[in-house]
Amino acid sequence: MIITVRRAVPADKAEIFKFLLEAYGENGHHKFPERWKWQFERNPYKPDDQIPVFVAIDENGKIVGQSAAMYEPLKVGAEYLTLVWALDAIVLPDYRGQNLGFETLRINCESSPLWMGMIMAPSSRHILEKLGCQAVDNVSSYRRVARFDTASVNLGVRNRGLLGGFRNKFSQFLQRLGIDKFGSLLINAAVSVQDAFLGLTQDKRITIQEQHSFDDRFDRFWEKVQLQYPIIIRRDSQFLKWKYLEQPDMRYRIFTAARDGEFRGYIILRCAFPPESNAGIIADILTDPRDKAGLRMLLFHAVRFFKSQNMKYIYCASSIPAYQRAFQSVGFRKKKTIVPLLHSQLNDNQNTLLFSKNCWFLGRSDHDWDQYPYA
């Protein structure tokens, strides 16, 4: 059978949507049509009218594999460029082993001078490395407890390797004794005491307010704070509106920090309510990295907010050391390290900065890390 790999055209949309259902199962419904339009057709940073999806299609017109690209504005030093995120690379099981994953990612990569992957399957990571992508600053992912319940205690017991094959029986034994309920109460009490002490250390002169739009205050703050970050996605009001207010299926909550009327930063939160994982997501946070008090206050507000919404865990991530220290200061613990991979066709001077250490601002808002449904 002959399989062709090429850029998708508008006439392929119906077949792409069929493919997404077959490739992603039940979750495929959330990838189209509204999210697909938002990400690939109505993206204001897309440089042309072409569809940024690259497909493997058989001689009968069936799409059996794809990779896609999402455009975002990137500040590199004093320049503004376009970064392309590689995402949604997948091949149907019956067609694997034919190099289709490599070919769809190869033509995707070759279509853009600045192309990057962050959250990806090991197979895709291997392909990106073969394509010449190089690592940039690591992103550290963090988690902390918001509220424990009996299911959390039992899961923790089952995950303890020291118990070996007795894990499930021991968990059932704890349930019969009611110790799982006592354990959840004890853990929640300890978390409440910890957070009470954290509250005493916050700068009470900083006020937190919820916002429902991105006005010119965000633009003025961006123009000031972007000087502190050599490489960062351009977070002006246009980008923030597209990313957080226009994205389908997502309900983000926006909070700003101010002291004596001065805008100090913002944090963007999302509750992944059931049928998602009942987790709180810190999708984005931006302050001056030297503003320890403002950063801590925004994070502490996030903790209180997610606890009020009965979230179990809270997740966040950053490549910035100052942010990582702030996460730890309010009770987050590092869970994993993500290594982003970048392919650049830019000049040597630009590449020197792109591949320098401690230059990239990256977090959960970048790539398409946070999307519905969150597992």
* Domains contained in the chain, number: 2
Which pLDDT score, from 0 to 100, does residue 147 have?
Answer: 85
Query: In the numeric block, which tokens belong to residue 226?
Result: 């972007």
Is residue 344 in some structural domain?
A: no
Mark which of 101, 132, 163 sits at the end of a domain: 132
For the chain, give the percent of residues with pLDDT over 90.
79
pTM over 0.95: no
Residues 103 and 144 in one domain: no
Strands (E), the chain: 3-7, 53-58, 63-76, 79-91, 114-117, 134-135, 139-145, 206-211, 231-233, 253-259, 262-272, 279-287, 313-318, 333-338, 341-344, 360-361
> In angstroms, rounded to a whole number, what is the distance separating the alpha carbons of residues 332 and 287?
18
Examine residue 356 and state whether it is found in any structural domain, yes or no. Answer: no
Same domain, 185 and 308: yes
Q: Please determine, for residue 156, whether its predicted confidence score (pLDDT) is greater than 90.
A: no
Q: Is residue 111 part of a domain?
A: yes
Maximum pairwise Cα distance, the chain: 69
Report how far residue 186's alpha carbon sits from residue 31's, in angstroms, rounded to the nearest whole number. Answer: 41
Radius of gyration of the chain from Cα atoms?
22
331 in a domain, yes or no?
yes
Mean pLDDT of the region 157-186: 56
39-44: average pLDDT:
96
Residue 175 has pLDDT above 70, yes or no: no
Q: Is the pLDDT of residue 171 over 80?
A: no
| Whether the bond into 373 is cis, omega within 30 of 0 | yes
DSSP 95: G
How far apart (Å, rounded) are the C-alpha atoms in residues 61 and 78?
46
- Position 157 pLDDT exceeds 50: no
Residue 252, CB half-sphere, CA atoms under 13 Å: how many? 28
Answer yes or no: do 46 and 113 share one domain: yes
Q: Is the pLDDT of residue 165 over 90?
A: no
What CA–CA distances, in Å, run from 123 to 96, 97, 119? Answer: 11, 11, 12
Question: Is 196 found in the same domain as 333?
Answer: yes
- Grade residue 290 by pLDDT with cuts at 50, 70 and 90: very high
Residues 89 and 144 in one domain: no
E strand or H helix at 128 = helix 122-130
Q: Provide the residue range defining the domain that includes 18.
A: 3-132
Give me 326's structure tokens.
């702030």
What is the per-residue pLDDT for 198? Answer: 76
Choice between 235 and 178, residue whose per-residue pLDDT is larger? 235
Whether residues 33 and 123 share a domain: the answer is yes
Q: Is residue 61 part of a domain?
A: yes
**274: confidence class by pLDDT, cuts 50, 70, 90:** confident
> Tens digits of per-residue pLDDT, 107-128?
999 999 999 999 999 999 999 9
Give yes or no: residues 120 and 211 share one domain.
Answer: no
* Residue 7 and residue 87 in one domain: yes
Q: Is 294 a domain residue?
A: yes
What's the pLDDT at 191? 74
Q: What is the DSSP letter of 78?
A: T
Q: Tell me if 279 is assigned to some domain.
A: yes
Q: Is the pLDDT of residue 78 over 90?
A: yes
Residues 210 and 121 in one domain: no
Mean pLDDT along residues 178-207: 75
Q: Are 118 and 140 in contact (CB under 8 A)?
A: no
Q: How far apart are CA 68 and CA 291, in angstroms?
A: 37
Q: Which residues is 262 bridged to in the sheet?
A: 259
Please list, in sequence order, all residues whose beta carbon lies within 8 angstroms of the beta carbon of residue 29, skipping any fewer than 6 positions away.
21
28 has pLDDT over 60: yes
Alpha-carbon dihedral sign for residues 7, 116, 252, 193: positive
Q: Which residue has the higher pLDDT, 137 or 368?
A: 137
Domain membership of residue 171 (yes or no) is no
Say yes or no: 246 and 310 in one domain: yes
Does 324 lie in the same domain as 184?
Answer: yes
CATH number of the domain bearing residue 43:
3.40.630.30
**Are residues 231 and 309 part of one domain?**
yes
> Phi and psi for 42 in degrees, rounded to 5?
-105, 10
Res 162: pLDDT:
47
pLDDT bin (cut points 50, 70, 90) of residue 178 is: low
d(CA 170, CA 161): 12
Answer yes or no: is pLDDT of 159 > 70. no
The answer to whether the beta carbons of residues 297 and 202 sit under 8 Å apart is: yes
